[in-house]
Amino acid sequence: IEKALAYGEISGAKQLKIKDLLPLMKAKWRAEHRFIEDNFTYEGLEQTGSQWKYEDIIADKVIFCEGHKVMENPFFKHLSFDPVKGEALIVEIEEPFEKSLRDKTFITPLGVGKQHWVGAGYTWQDLTENPAEKARREIEDQLNAILKVPYKIVDHIAGIRPATKYRRPFAGAHPSFPNLFIFNGLGTKGSSLGPFFARQLVQLMENQIPMDVEVALR
C-alpha cells in the first residue's frame, strides 16, 4: 500500500458476515416453524379488537423491521428517515490483506481466496439498488490511491442504508396503535447496536420499561 506508515491499528475489532449469518438463522427458524418467507402487503394487515390479523396469522403485537422499505409503511413513514445509497466493489487483490484497512475507503478481506470488499460511498440522489458507473469510478480512484499491487474487479454491488436524519435508530410503539412497533434506522451500525436496542424493545413490549431517549420515537 501507499503511505504504509500513515495508519494506526485498532485491536479487538470483529467482523460479522451478515450474508453467511442470515441463511443459518432462517434455516433454524424454519426448523422451529417460526419463519415464513413471503411478500408482505400493508393492506393485508387488519386490526381485530386488540389484535392484528394477517392472512391466517393472529398476533398480539407486530414489529416492523424492514430497512429502507419503511418509507412505504403507512404507520411509520412519517418518521425522520434519511435513506442513503452505498456501493462497493468486490475485488481480487494479488497480495491479499490479512486485516481491514480504512483510508478514503474501506478494504476488507472476505475470507474467500483473494477477494476483498471495497467501499462504500454515500449518495442521497439515486435511491435505486442499481450500481452506478460514477460510483464505480470513484471507488476505483480511491483504491488506486491506496494499492501498489494489481487487482481485478469481480463484482459491483449497491444497497440502501436505512439511515435517519439524527443518526439514531427508531425503536418503540406507534402513538395511536400501542401494539404496533418499529425497529429500524440502525444504518451501518446494525450489527453492533442491534442486540442492545432489541433487548430494550423487548423490555418495552413485555414490561413497559421505556426505551432509551436516544432511540425513542420522535
pLDDT at 218 over 70: no
Q: What is the mean pLDDT of residues 87-103?
A: 91
Please, how many CA atoms are within 13 Å of residue 127, restricted to the half-sphere of its CB? 11
Domains detected in the chain = 84-161 (3.30.9.10)
Q: What is the mean pLDDT of residues 19-33?
A: 95
What is the grid cell recorded at 181? 412497533
- The one-letter amino acid code at 84 reads V
* Dist. CA 60–CA 50, nearest whole Å: 7
Confidence label for 192 from pLDDT (cuts 50, 70 and 90): confident
* Dist. CA 71–CA 218, nearest whole Å: 16
DSSP β-bridge partners for residue 84: 161
pLDDT at 1 over 80: no
pLDDT at 5 over 60: no
CB distance 124 to 161 below 8 Å: no
pLDDT at 190 over 60: yes
Query: Tell me: the pLDDT tens digits for 42-70?
Result: 999 999 999 999 999 999 999 999 999 99
CB distance 67 to 160 below 8 Å: yes
* Dist. CA 119–CA 34, nearest whole Å: 35
